[in-house]
Structure formats: structure tokens, C-alpha cells
Structure 1
């Protein structure tokens, strides 16, 4: 303490600036963190029938080139309140030092812009206050191609508790095939005005022509790798294990062939959609043959949610879900009553026309 008290204020300021400069001038690390205690996070909600898809088990976004996707940045305000920016950039998963650049084919077809940095940047942000930073030789966080977006500190979130949530729109100007199909990820950094990284979130990205096909292939490949378990037992151990299994099985039961693809879980119907966002929420789209069955399903969800709300009365998300279900039920009755009245009016109109013709 005596040493620190004896230091000049300018020396302390230079030490802090040097630490910040070394942080933003270093190579990116592909890890999620909240060093600034801002509870920084990204929420990616996949809309139905969109041109991009998200794989929850792979934490990976699949999207076409020049197609826009929306992602919400959320963080918690702290005192003293300071302006914050979001920096986003692409990075190779297996080579963080290699800059991700546009290919010459797509670059040549892009018209000349006033903002040359935007033309050369593979990542685009549709927000009007976006700044394009970096150079083609940049490798560190500060020097590589990136987009910098000032965040609106006054946009409160429905989560409450001092959270701020803002929607940002991004797109890509090249595909993974342009640079040898290398695996890429999108890095989001929460920064203050001096460039200090307060939080970071990493999202794997594949820019391709057929997002649905590539996502399904990668998820099947992941499941097949999980099913494969390397055998370390010797042949003698395997034979003895088979003998033990034969002794325990009844004589009238035949051994079934083992299969890596066997499962007791029934597949989701093709006309249903089950997705999950980055913040853990689930979305279910179903088709129901009768309105009575749909109403019963809604009432069942209301009952289960009410029980869960009694167990967790202070959970804001459960309370909001219960309110949404009650609103859905009210809208359900309103629309069907409206349709019923509409049919009655049509019936009376037809009856009136028939009577007029008869007279």
C-alpha cells in the first residue's frame, strides 16, 4: 500500500492504459466470459421458415450469404453508467491469428462504396451507427476487420433487474467455401469507450448455400460420434463377457443385434418445429386437427405453468409465460366467436335472399 500511495497518478494511469492496450492488441481467445460483471449475453431467436438456422447442440449458425439475421445483445447496467460498444468480428476456429478476408471474386462484384472498410469487411451490420474498423493485415482484436456498434443504454429489457436489450442485424458478404471451407466463428465483445473488453460471447457460423442440409449433416455426424465408443478390452475379456451375458439371458430370449442408431425416442413430426434460443427458451410449433384439442392443450399448459408459478412465485419468465398463455386462450375464444358470428350472418343473408326470390 505504501508503494502504491507513493506512485504518481500519471504513472498509475499509464499502467492502466498499458494493460487495456495489451488486452485489445492480443489475439482473440474463443471463450465466453463476463470479466466486467455486466452479465453480457447474446440471444438468437430462430423465426419459422427463415433463411437461416441455428443448431443448439453445436451452438452454430447456418446462414446464406447476403441474408440478414437478427441477434439481441443483453447486458446489465452498472454504476457509474458508462457508454458501451459492441465489437463483432469473424475468426477461424483452428487459426485465431489468420485474418478472415473476402475473396476476390465477390469483392470484384461489389460496387465501389464511399466506405472502403465496409466493402472489404466480410461481416456487415445493418445498424446505421456502425463503424468498420481494421485492416487486411490485422490479427489482433484491435487491428482485424470488425464492426463497432454503439449500444443504447436507455433500452430496458422485459427481463427487468436493470437489464438492457438491443436488437442488431448482421449479414455476410462471402461464404466458407471462399476460404477453403475453414470453420469460422463470430466473436462478440462488449467494450467501453477505451476499448476495454468487459464481456465476450462466441458463436460458431457457417455461411453456405443450403443451411438446412448442412445443419442436419453436422448434427447427424455429431450423434454418430457420440454413439461410437472405443473398445479397450482384449479379445479374451470380450469372449468372457459374452459368456456371462449368455448365462444371464433366459433360454427363450434371443440376443438382439446392437445398433448405434437404435433409440426409444420417437422423432418429431415433420410438420412440427421445435427450436431453442441461446438464452435457453423453447419454441414449439404444432398442428392440431380440431380446435377442441388445441384448446385442451392450451388449458393443460396453463395448469402446468400455474403449478410451476406457485413453486417459483418470483420467477419473472414463468409469470410472463403464464400471461402469454392466458392471452392466447382469450384470443382463441375471440377468433372462434368471431368466425361463428360471421357464419350466422352469412346464413341469414342467404336465407333472406332465398325468401326474396320466393316472393
Structure 2
């Protein structure tokens, strides 16, 4: 019987008669020597050298994978400890989106052109979180926190007036958080000095993967309820926004959506005022652009006027230098009683006739673009199209 050991073969003897022992040992000794000489070059004594010689490319791949893994871990750690970026993205391909449906006579309003929520303090608003299911399944959470628009590094803290009257005493993170969530199993994080995403005051809500969307397509839609316990006036009326981060259990950010928010005492008034300012700014920009266009148009008119005068002059000179040719006898150009113009011509080839009609159609179409309400141009275009059909039917 033979037992395999690393890089060598050894023999284990069973009980043999003493008379046959010498002959058996001599035969096996010769066979063992022959095998050793044959495998000396194939099996080196050092296992690492053997593996390197066997497939050094795989060992290099293992090393690269190790370095890549360390880089990915460092990137995740940097991402968690980084300042928030006010941008929408779906890096994890979960197609994260937010849906706000404003109910009638509510305590909050939403401005579509500004992407901004206007709400009173201590009033709850519902927002639907929609995302796509991906394989393999993994638990997902939604982290929500409030952030200053112009200074993302400064943490948003509650004012002392509202903080002193807060009834919550046992959970300091929830007590100090300006944002509250009514969904069960919500967890609060953060400190007063926290600046990064993981350190600032935030609410983490576990998402239920079984709440499928009515639209289908592998999407999940879950309703979350939030409210604010301070106003923008508590911290100098600075512009704020609400950041939603889709995360896995390792706090990797898979998607992000930003919603601008203003916590005020009169949402309708503030929304209308901000939208009026937005419309006024757009009109100013349009007015400036119109002034520039008028200047360019005036320059263009002068250029076209000079070009036309030059062309007319050249045409007159050309007509004076050569005899004016009369129209062919089978052509007829005249003006009708109703003030229109009539052209009768004869073409020697069908292709020339069709090309002439197509040229008139092209000119008419260009005129229709400049005057889309002109009924006569539209009728003329229809007549030309019918004329082209008749011309194509000619043999």
C-alpha cells in the first residue's frame, strides 16, 4: 500500500514472509529508484516554486484582485465619510425615484418648477419611495437628512427654543434631529459636530421589499411619513434641502435624490412668491436675449440689404451687356383677375416636370413654417401635392 505525501512517494510494508523479504525489497528498490529519476525534473522540491511555475498568471491575478479589493474598501469608506453632494444619481442601478402627491387642502405644497416642498412645522407629509428590485436580493435602507444648500459642510441643528420644549428625553439622537419619521423601525443617528453623511443627524428607515408597485416591472413602492420640528427661520432663513440616500447594510450609497424644502408658517404664500421670482428672472433673461437678437437681426438686415443691392446691380449690368431673351412660345406668365399669378410651361422630360413641382412645394413649405396660420398657403401646398401625384401618373 502507498501513502501520498507532499512532493514525494513512500512505501508502507505489510507483513511478508521472512524468506521472500530480500527478493521483494530488491525489486521494489529498483522500481523506486527508476521512478525517482523519472520525476526529478517534473516535481520540484519547493511547493511555492512548483505553483509559480505551474501558473504564474493566476498568482498575478490574485494579487491584482487583492489590491482592487483594498481600493474598493477604501472608496466605500471615503464615500461614507464624505460630505454630501446635492445631486441625483442611481449608481447602483436601482432606479430610485420620489413621488409626491399633494392632497387637497393640505398643510404642505409642492412646486414643480422649483422642485421644492413648502410645509408647516410639525405637519406630516407623505412621500412614496420607488425603486427597482435587483438580483441578488439584499436588505435596503433609506437614509434621510436635511442639509444647507449653500454650505453642505455645516450641520443643521435645532434651535434651543424648540429643543427645550421637546417631550422626547430618552433618545438624544431623535431629540436633536430636525427631521422625524413616523414609520416603525426608524433609527436615528448623528451628533452635533457631525459633518459627513454617516455622522450628521439622519433617519434610517428599513425598506420592505414585498411592497410591489401597481405599475409592475419589478418595482417596489413604499410610503414614508416625515415631519419637521423646526423652521427655516430658526437658523437664519437659510435655504435647505432634504437628501434621500438608498443604502445597503454596509451603508454603501446606491442611489440619491434631492428635494428642496422650506419649513414656514405660510406655505402657499411663500410658494407663490418664489414662483413669481422665478418667472421674473426668466422674463429678464428672455428680454436680454431678445435685445441681443434684435441687434443681430438689425445687423443681418443691413448685410442682406447690401447683398441685395449688389446682386441687383450685377443683374442689371448683365442684362445691359446681353440681349434679353424672350420667353418660349409654349410658356405663359400672367396675372389673374383675383390678384394671383399663373404660370404655364412645357417640359420635355417627366423628371424635369416633377423636380419643378417639388421645388415649388419646398418653397411653399418654408413659407408655411414662417406663417403657420396662413390658410391660402396651406391650400396652395395641397394643390401642389395633388399636382405632383398627377405628374407621377403620367406615362
TM-score range, shorter chain: 0.5 to 0.7
Report deviation, 1:166: 0.4
**Aligned equivalents of 1:7 and 1:152: distance in 2?**
39
Aligned length, in residue pairs: 242
**Aligned equivalents of 2:223 and 2:190: distance in 1?**
24
**Aligned equivalents of 2:177 and 2:225: distance in 1?**
15
The equivalent position to 1:76 in structure 2, one of 132, 151, 154, is 132
| Structure 1 runs not aligned, ≥5 long | 245-359
| Structure 2 runs not aligned, ≥5 long | 1-56, 303-395
- Could you say what secondary structure the match of 2:155 adopts? coil
| Residue 137 (structure 1) aligns with | 193
Is the alpha carbon distance of 1:237 and 1:82 closer, same or farther for their aligned partners in structure 2, counting shifts above 3 Å? Answer: closer
Is the alpha carbon distance of 1:26 and 1:2 closer, same or farther for their aligned partners in structure 2, counting shifts above 3 Å? Answer: farther
The equivalent position to 2:95 in structure 1, one of 15, 39, 45, is 39
| Residue 182 (structure 1) aligns with | 238
Report deviation, 1:61: 0.2
Aligned pairs for 1:333-348 within 5 A = none
Higher-Rg structure is 2
Match status 1:221 vs 2:277: yes
Match status 1:200 vs 2:288: no
**Aligned equivalents of 1:161 and 1:173: distance in 2?**
37
Report deviation, 1:115: 1.0
**Aligned equivalents of 2:191 and 2:118: distance in 1?**
26
- Which structure has more relative contact order (CA 8 Å, sep 6+)? It is 1
Q: Deviations over 1:243-285 (max 9, x none)?
A: 99xxxxxxxxxxxxxxxxxxxxxxxxxxxxxxxxxxxxxxxxx
**Aligned equivalents of 1:9 and 1:102: distance in 2?**
46
Match status 1:92 vs 2:148: yes
Match status 1:107 vs 2:138: no
Match status 1:165 vs 2:221: yes
Aligned pairs for 1:49-64 within 5 A = 49-64=105-120
Report deviation, 1:3: 7.8
**Aligned equivalents of 1:142 and 1:164: distance in 2?**
25
Q: Deviations over 1:191-238 (max 9, x none)?
A: 00001100000000000000000000001111111111364869x969
- Could you say what secondary structure the match of 1:119 adopts? helix
Is the alpha carbon distance of 1:17 and 1:47 closer, same or farther for their aligned partners in structure 2, counting shifts above 3 Å? Answer: same
Match status 1:124 vs 2:196: no
- Could you say what secondary structure the match of 1:22 adopts? helix
| Residue 211 (structure 1) aligns with | 267
Higher helix share: 2
**Aligned equivalents of 2:295 and 2:154: distance in 1?**
48
Report deviation, 1:13: 4.2
Match status 1:147 vs 2:213: no
Report deviation, 1:16: 2.6
Q: Deviations over 1:314-343 (max 9, x none)?
A: xxxxxxxxxxxxxxxxxxxxxxxxxxxxxx
- Could you say what secondary structure the match of 2:170 adopts? coil
| Residue 346 (structure 1) aligns with | none
Report deviation, 1:111: 2.1
| Residue 331 (structure 2) aligns with | none
Is the alpha carbon distance of 1:124 and 1:228 closer, same or farther for their aligned partners in structure 2, counting shifts above 3 Å? Answer: same
Aligned pairs for 1:236-315 within 5 A = none
Q: Which moved more, 1:9-18 or 1:190-199?
A: 9-18
- Could you say what secondary structure the match of 1:105 adopts? helix
| Residue 387 (structure 2) aligns with | none
**Aligned equivalents of 2:59 and 2:102: distance in 1?**
55
**Aligned equivalents of 2:188 and 2:230: distance in 1?**
17
